[in-house]
């Protein structure tokens, strides 16, 4: 199933006109979900989210400049705990140029009344910036979740475009605690190895390394609406080495789910 979604992503991300590129991408993502999801299950198992954020950030690295971005996601879950998700994001000022898109296949398993585990496969496409770009990647991961409060995740990441096919590790620990007045606070930290390629494909080297990142934030939610502000921290070394990929220190988002 993941291969079907990945193929749809590649079709969606082919060059398109500035006026329709991002919308064609999102329609193709929805179509990919429709291929996988049986018609009889869509009415009760399909959900989604639309969000406006100040920047797209992935594991402490900036996917877009610090400018308003629009994201959309579509999810399907089955009665036996399988789920498929597709999403895409674009700068609001350049809707014809999707900045990132991803497809994910996952399975939840209940370990006890308090603990559950999620295994996932993910294909991630990043369009890149004017100076550097990250390789597209395939990722296999496992998360252990305690009461939706604590999440520990480990991943193995492969970058098909890199010179080395060796999987690269990543690990994340995140905590979220509910507060009165529909508020909650969160904090997290992680470590990963990045693979960066020069924007010009004629260059023949990879830039690799290990870096650390983290965040702390405050969230307010009411029904389908959510507002969140996070303070982003990235390893100072990566700010010196890869200035084009250093995320802004503050990240704000407004989202609506359905």
Q: What does the DSSP assignment read for 102-130?
A: EEEEEEEEE-SSSEEEEEEEEEEEE---S
Q: Exposed, middle or buried, 26 (CB in 10 Å: 0-12/13-18/19+)?
A: buried
Do the Cβ atoms of 111 and 117 come closer than 8 Å?
yes
Give the alpha-carbon dihedral of 26, 32, 35, 37, to 10 degrees.
Answer: -80
For helices 21-36 and 2-12, angle between their N-to-C axes, nearest 10 degrees: 160
The reported pTM is 0.77
pLDDT digit string (tens) for the chain, length 258 residues? 443 344 444 434 443 333 333 333 444 444 444 444 444 444 459 999 999 999 999 888 888 888 899 999 999 999 889 999 999 999 988 777 788 899 999 999 999 999 999 999 999 988 765 555 677 889 999 999 999 999 999 999 998 877 777 889 999 999 999 999 999 999 999 999 877 765 555 555 566 678 899 999 999 999 999 999 999 998 777 666 666 677 889 999 999 999
Report the alpha-carbon distance of residue 190 to residue 188 in Å, rounded.
7
Report the alpha-carbon distance of residue 167 to residue 157 in Å, rounded.
5
Q: Give Cα 138 distance to the centre of its chain.
A: 12
């Amino acid at each position: 199933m993941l291969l079907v979604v990945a193929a749809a992503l590649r079709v969606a991300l082919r060059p398109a006109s500035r006026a329709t590129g991002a919308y064609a991408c999102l329609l193709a993502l929805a179509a990919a979900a429709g291929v996988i999801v049986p018609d009889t299950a869509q009415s009760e198992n399909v959900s989604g989210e639309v969000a406006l954020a100040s920047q797209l950030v992935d594991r402490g690295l900036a996917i877009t400049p610090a400018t308003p971005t629009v994201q959309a996601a579509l999810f399907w879950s089955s009665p036996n705990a399988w789920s498929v998700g597709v999403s895409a994001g674009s700068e609001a000022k350049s809707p014809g140029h999707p900045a990132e898109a991803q497809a994910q296949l996952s399975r939840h398993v209940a370990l006890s009344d308090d603990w559950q585990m999620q295994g996932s496969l993910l294909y991630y496409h990043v369009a890149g910036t004017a100076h550097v770009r990250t390789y597209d990647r395939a990722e296999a991961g496992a998360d252990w979740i305690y009461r939706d409060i604590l999440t520990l995740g480990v991943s193995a990441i492969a970058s098909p475009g890199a010179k080395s096919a060796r999987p690269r590790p990543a690990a994340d620990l995140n905590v979220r605690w509910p507060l009165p007045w529909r508020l909650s606070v969160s904090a997290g930290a992680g470590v990963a190895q990045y693979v960066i390629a020069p924007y010009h494909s004629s260059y023949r080297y990879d830039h690799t390394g290990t870096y650390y990142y983290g965040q702390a934030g405050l969230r307010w939610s009411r029904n389908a609406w959510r507002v969140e502000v996070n303070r982003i921290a990235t390893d100072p070394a990566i700010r010196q080495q890869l200035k084009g990929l250093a995320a802004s220190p503050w990240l704000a988002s407004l989202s609506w789910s359905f």
